[in-house]
Amino acid sequence: MLKHIGVGCILCIFVLAGCTKSSRVDIPPRVHDIQISGKDSIAPFELYAAVGEEIRWHNNLAVPIHLGLLGVKPIEEVGCGKGFKTWFGAIKDVVVIPAGGYVSVCFLRARTVRYNIWTDIADPFRSMSPTAIIHLDEAA
């Protein structure tokens, strides 16, 4: 009888431990995709997002392009990301997006972010996009 109670207690502990572990689910941040098909083809051109959500810029062109963030202070203003951080942890304000690739970032404070893309960095004036906008509000 005691043997069955001991086995039952052990099973109960494993079940409770499993329930507490599985109930703590980390929800990944929402992802907003910006598609770039040319200097005049950025969709969406104006984006609304919340602080902490991931913003991804996708290069749909067959050539690399440059993305320049305007007025973003380095290091403390971004979280997650791909392609924006240097080896020393600083944030680059101009990044290269490879052909068919993407870069991403999570901004950490509410603000308006403006950016441009260049389809040919050797001719920056003629290859620059109009300034696109991301509106970041506090997370709900």
Each residue's pLDDT tens digit, 33-81: 999 998 889 999 999 999 989 999 999 999 999 999 887 665 456 677 7
More confident residue, 26 or 97: 97
- pLDDT of 94 > 70? The answer is yes
26 assigned to some structural domain? no
Instruction: Give CA separation, 107 vs 29, 42, 60, 91, 127, in Å.
Output: 11, 20, 23, 11, 27
11 assigned to some structural domain? no
The mean pLDDT of 20-37, rounded to a whole number, is 74
Domain count, the chain: 1
| Helices and strands counted in the chain (H then E) | 1, 10
Q: Tell me which residue has tokens 């991804």.
A: 56
78 assigned to some structural domain? yes
Q: What is the CATH number of the domain that holds 130?
A: 2.60.40.420
17 assigned to some structural domain? no
| Whole-structure pTM value | 0.75
Range of the domain at 117: 31-137
pLDDT recorded at residue 42:
96
Query: CA nearest 82: which of 73, 92, 72?
Result: 92
Q: Using 50, 70 and 90 to split pLDDT, how confident is the model at 21? A: very low
108 assigned to some structural domain? yes
10 assigned to some structural domain? no
23 assigned to some structural domain? no
